[in-house]
Chains A and B, each alone.
Chain A
């Protein structure tokens, strides 16, 4: 990824951007986010198989945004997140430069977000086969079995909100879960509190989640919470004419069509 380092260095030297967001070598064979502000530090940037964290989560954070114009090393899921964030007016060409990394690990340079969007449009969001099987298995269960499955799976959750922190779409400065007048979600990590938290998370990501699995990768307990958002991706596609966030620019849940189809309203 010499190209990436060189490009990052040039961007910083010419003051085109104030900070480059990328990955660097961490401890224990892991990688971590790096915020390059000095051209010389650009050499610390790396890119390999371990770089799975969705860096788009940082572009909406005030600590990073306030530094000035940003550049970001963006894999496909990160580019998707950025397009979704752009359609939600959270990023724009004025404050973000995208250094794209293709699935073949080539650096592509984008002049603006419209070009990123054109690039992203080549790839459909595909639920991979292992998850596809898990979803099918759950779909075949009786509702009470599914209920038991979810109560069991969610029971280890101790509400650290790492899933929220890792998600680029969870950028609200005040989250429903932080409200205590009224207390929407019970604070303790008992069955009810966990269930309501995960339902809320899934609903708020409906039509916005681009399936990057950052939440699942961040969860210290390996709770398969991404199954919920994957299911929402599928159901959104089935119910709303193949709608896919980042491929369709829009606001699925805050718009409507007079002829939306349903089969349960009496």
Chain B
């Protein structure tokens, strides 16, 4: 049973006995950054810059699609770092709903917003899908520009710090399997 003292009712009673004027501005509802394409693109660009590997001698680079999805998921959720470390170092997969690995896996696998942004980036000629990997395409320079510009302008400092911390976490095949 909740012990919440219902502060909204208390507030309404206080305001009701006053001559305060209501102000309602629906446009001020701040949407979550999670659904902001520009923000998500910048994070993908930063993660890709940090973790992708060159293919042969050409300019192309690639990364496992699952790894990219997991890393960007954690990059925007810094509080998950201890959990992902534990998952990386742990052997047991544990059960269903309680163990970190299962909860994070469930979270990043169902991160459909990431897939939406990836679809846009593929359609824009920035990435191509190559089996389980994503590879840079003819307009990949855009991604590099986004990552550089983000860093140069000091944007998303927490996320960039998180990405550098993630370099010390071993992303095992086990973590990326089964989805």
User: Are the chains A and B members of one assembly?
Assistant: no
